[in-house]
Structure 1
Amino acid sequence: MTADSPILGRDLFSKATYEGPAYMTTYMSALQEGQKVESRLLVSHLPLTLTSFEINFGVMVKKIPGMTAEEEHEYVQGYIDANNFAFGQDVAIWENKIYIADPVVCDGDGPLHKLRKWYGQFLVNRNDIPNGLDMEKREF
């Protein structure tokens, strides 16, 4: 996806990849004050109940040449804060969504039905798990 973002910069390029049902990695690049900024995001989704989940969100920013350690720290923290704000806008939308079996979709919504089918392979009723594949919870 390519767009301009008042929060994250001009010529924002974003490529998100679902690595499985629980987490997504994203590569992003944008221009901020004439400087190319590259970052990687990690978002994980941990189901807690049938209607709630915990979201974890991480950001890495590629070093920008010529900055002092102090300038870099301040810049990176500002970039992380901006990403967190932008991500929070998405979360606010998700909090008000409800499941609709066959929703009306618009251009730009993406392949919702295909995504639901893909997710469905991971959503198995605990009683349907074959013996030997079920495991007790382990903590390390």
Structure 2
Amino acid sequence: MSDTIETKCLSKGVKLTDQRRIIAKVMSESSDHPDVDELYKRVSKIDPKISIATVYRTVKLFEESGILTKHEFKGGKARYEELNEGHHDHLIDVQSGEIIEFVDEEIEKLQKKVAEKYGYSLVDHKLELYGIKKKSE
């Protein structure tokens, strides 16, 4: 798993400098959706010579190359995740910023049904749910 972004870079002809390789490794190992500042903190622990500008440029390059995808969830900074073949939706905790990825077959069916109702074939969609965690009683 840790080399998937690196492998995608190589297959797409994206040149990997040592610094880009570190950024790719850290991003591949991220289980969350880090913003550039958070990614910078993580890569700086490995190589303190990597500048935030390098992280910004590398993330932009990876996004333009179809390796990362950018999410602009409400009320926050742009966050990134590896672009994968599998579709999923997001549930965002508006208090903590935690992001939960999920797939729900009922929602998928309902979206197709709505599109068909209006005479469309669904080709893509993006679903973001925003919530506040319930307190356990």
Structure 2 length-normalised TM: 0.22
Greater helix fraction, Structure 1 or Structure 2: 2
Greater strand fraction, Structure 1 or Structure 2: 1
Structure 1 length-normalised TM: 0.22
Indicate the structure whose relative CO is greater, using CA pairs within 8 Å and at least 6 residues apart.
Answer: 2
